[in-house]
Every structure is written in structure tokens, then in C-alpha cells.
Structure 1
Amino acid sequence: MSSFNLVDALFQLLSLACIVLIIVLIVSFFRSKKYRKKQLDRIEKKIDDINQRINKDAD
């Protein structure tokens, strides 16, 4: 009665894979968001430096 069923094992592996996939997607989303914020901060700093140079040269 309690024999090993291949379909049950495949279903459990698929369920586990879905949970792992959700966790990986969440982690990668937040890492990507963090990277983009750092990138935007660097771009903003460069733009501010350029604006200061332009204003300094104009005076």
C-alpha cells in the first residue's frame, strides 16, 4: 500500500523547484534594485560635477 510512486516524487521536486525559483526571483529583484540605485547615484554625481564646472566657467 505504501509503495514509492514516481509521480508523487516528481510533484514534490516540481513544488520544491517552484519555491526555490520564487526565492531566487525575489533576491535577484532586490539585488538589481540596489545596483540600479548605486548606478543612478553615480550618474547623478557626475551630472552635478559637470553642472558645477559649467557654472564655474560661466562666472
Structure 2
Amino acid sequence: MYIGDIIYLLFTILIPIVFIAAIIFFVRSSKKRKEQLDRIEKKLDKVSGQAPKQ
């Protein structure tokens, strides 16, 4: 096998893996961000004396 073939195979294998990993990272970070915002909102509601939203 030539070095060019090896490089091509690495790229064709790594590109889909990187793409899937990026999607998973984005979904997880979005979920964590939403959970953090919900916690902050609850704390603000508690401090301001409002009833928590349902």
C-alpha cells in the first residue's frame, strides 16, 4: 500500500467519526446549557420571591 492510499483511508474513516463526535458534543452541551439555565432561573425565582414556573 502506498502512503497516499493510507492517508486517503485515514481521512475517509476519520471524517465521519469527527462529524458524529461533533454532533454528540453539540447535543450534550446544549442539554447541559439548558439545565444550567433552568437552575439559574429557579434560583432567581427563589431570590425574587416568585413562584416557580411549571
* Length-normalised TM-score, structure 2: 0.82
The structure 1 residue matched to 2:8, chosen from 2, 11, 17, is 11
Q: 1:23 Cα deviation (Å)?
A: 0.6
Larger Rg: 1
Q: 1:14 Cα deviation (Å)?
A: 1.1
- Considering Cα pairs closer than 8 Å and 6+ residues apart, tell me whether 1 or 2 has the greater RCO: 2
Q: 1:12 Cα deviation (Å)?
A: 1.0
Which digits, 9 at most, give the CA deviation of each residue in 1:10-53, with x for residues without a partner? 1011111111110110000000000000000000000000111x
The number of residues matched between the two structures is 50
1:39 aligns with 2:36: yes
**C-alpha distance in structure 1 between counterparts of 2:47 and 2:12, whole Å:** 53
Structure 2: 5+ residue stretches without partners? none
Runs of 4 or more consecutive aligned structure 1 residues displaced over 2 Å after TM superposition = none
1:30 aligns with 2:36: no
Q: Which one has the bigger helix percentage?
A: 1
**Percentage identity across aligned positions?**
38
Structure 1: 5+ residue stretches without partners? none
- C-alpha RMSD of the superposition: 1.3
